[in-house]
Structure 1
């Protein structure tokens, strides 16, 4: 657990029982994302990557009203007033987004209320998205005269397909929870009052699995999304090395002994 003082930050990390929870903490602005929040998010993701006790990462809001209502538009008149200043801002948002996608540990977005613009960008970058029935989700660059970046666009296309991505970006409309689930933006849709329990029950379930297998799964899927169509020496090595790992030995032994495998504490291959 973190000292209470850290919870005054607009983005903060709480680590407990193998799960690192990153909170968006600007409830008065519906977690409107400013430049500092993007840079802090990247910093905390890097921290999660290097802390062995963090095995699963959940991104959530401190308020039920919104995961995030999007970027802090009021900041645009200074931080994003032209191409030069926007380049700095865009690098920060892309760095945080890529840090989510490339994190070797499972990432789960817990979505409730408004999830718009930059908030949706964060959610799409995660491995899985759990949402409450009150979700309203949309990606709105067309409402601002902004062209959505390639990195973010590709992640969206990979998730929902090109036609759906075009619909979402061209219209900029907000989707209700059921439609967001139907088009593939949401993986697990539950009543609002069950969202936290359902999300963290799933996250805790992942803790029972082998870290090397989960890391390998993420690497394989990302390679496929990045256009790799044949096995490579690096990917083949991941498979081969798993058979020499302590996780593999423990998993096989547990199966033969008719017990649950114990992958705690984290075993690094």
Structure 2
């Protein structure tokens, strides 16, 4: 066999993970190694939260500081890669992400090592926009991709939104983000959202092939190339800046709360009922103001 077995990484701060699994293996002939960071909440379809991102940061940090590692693989345990943010947590937790933390996409941007996304099943929301920020995406034929933010009142801005235009083109990027459609693996391949699609049972083997190709060339050159490609993200605004400017109280207003509530209650959101009520209140306020001004 060309590869050693996967081995769980141990060490201070690296062997007590709850939400991810962190492993490494090395190629016997080529000498270099691969670090695999796997979402490990299969009972929650690998839903995302800051606790997940905190553990991922430690794993990414270790992999990038290990001179024997040439590639990082991001995967998901269970049937699905991941379905985006944990909506129950998002009812309050999105505030902390927008105003005090960083998105998981930044881990990919900060990584000096090439990152491969290994995707099966659902790849939705936050998982999808992390995946298209990765250097390569290998998808199983049962994969489904898409965004969900506007459906659940979860706004997004920052580098990873406009960056999708670089991946699939401006029109398709707006379609993906604004309409929240879902795309099967072959559709994702056709639009350039993934590099290749293989049968589910061949997914790990295919990822190993791509890792072998990357380990066969100069790791220093790959790091320079990755940094050169990634620099196009640096001209965009930071995550949360536009949302905070346009809607500083979004999460506390009815529209900001309605999407998540409707999702958890398994009903259609009533966004336009809320907007109509807002329009009525605005009209009422204007009329009251004009009446008071003319009276005075």
Give the shorter-chain TM-score range. 0.7 to 0.9
CA distance in 1, matches of 2:132, 2:24: 23
SS of the residue 1:150 aligns to = coil
**2:45 touches 2:83 (CA, 8 Å); kept in 1?**
yes
Equivalent of residue 45 in structure 1, options 27, 37, 60: 60
Equivalent of residue 145 in structure 2, options 109, 117, 137: 137
Residue 78, structure 1, aligned to residue 92, structure 2? yes
For each residue in 1:150-177, what CA deviation from the matched residue of structure 2 results, as whole angstroms up to 9, or x when unmatched?
2220221221121111000111011111
Equivalent of residue 82 in structure 2, options 68, 83, 92: 68
Go from structure 1 to structure 2 and tell me whether the alpha carbon gap of 1:7 and 1:128 turns closer, same or farther (over 3 Å shift). farther
Compute the TM-score of the two structures, normalised by the length of structure 1: 0.76
Residue 33, structure 1, aligned to residue 48, structure 2? yes
For each residue in 1:51-92, what CA deviation from the matched residue of structure 2 results, as whole angstroms up to 9, or x when unmatched?
1121110111121x1100111011022313xxx545246x23
SS of the residue 2:81 aligns to = strand
In structure 2, the gaps of 5 or more residues are: 1-6, 27-32, 236-296
**1:19 touches 1:204 (CA, 8 Å); kept in 2?**
no
**1:6 touches 1:12 (CA, 8 Å); kept in 2?**
no
Go from structure 1 to structure 2 and tell me whether the alpha carbon gap of 1:206 and 1:200 turns closer, same or farther (over 3 Å shift). same
Equivalent of residue 2 in structure 1, options 5, 8, 33: 8
Compute the TM-score of the two structures, normalised by the length of structure 2: 0.69
Equivalent of residue 102 in structure 2, options 80, 92, 103: 92
* Cα distance, 1:43 vs structure 2: 2.1
Residue 115, structure 1, aligned to residue 123, structure 2? yes
CA distance in 1, matches of 2:99, 2:59: 19
RMSD: 2.0
CA distance in 2, matches of 1:87, 1:179: 31
**1:98 touches 1:125 (CA, 8 Å); kept in 2?**
no
SS of the residue 1:104 aligns to = coil
CA distance in 1, matches of 2:127, 2:119: 9
- 1:1-269 matches, within 5 Å, as 1-2=7-8, 6=15, 9-17=18-26, 18-63=33-78, 65-80=79-94, 84-88=95-99, 91-93=101-103, 96-223=104-231, 226=234
* Cα distance, 1:224 vs structure 2: 5.1
Go from structure 1 to structure 2 and tell me whether the alpha carbon gap of 1:195 and 1:7 turns closer, same or farther (over 3 Å shift). farther
* Cα distance, 1:146 vs structure 2: 2.9
Aligned pairs, number: 220
Q: Which has the larger radius of gyration?
A: 2
**2:8 touches 2:23 (CA, 8 Å); kept in 1?**
yes
* Cα distance, 1:8 vs structure 2: 6.0
**1:67 touches 1:114 (CA, 8 Å); kept in 2?**
yes
* Cα distance, 1:202 vs structure 2: 1.1
* Cα distance, 1:141 vs structure 2: 1.0
For each residue in 1:128-158, what CA deviation from the matched residue of structure 2 results, as whole angstroms up to 9, or x when unmatched?
0000110011011110223321222022122
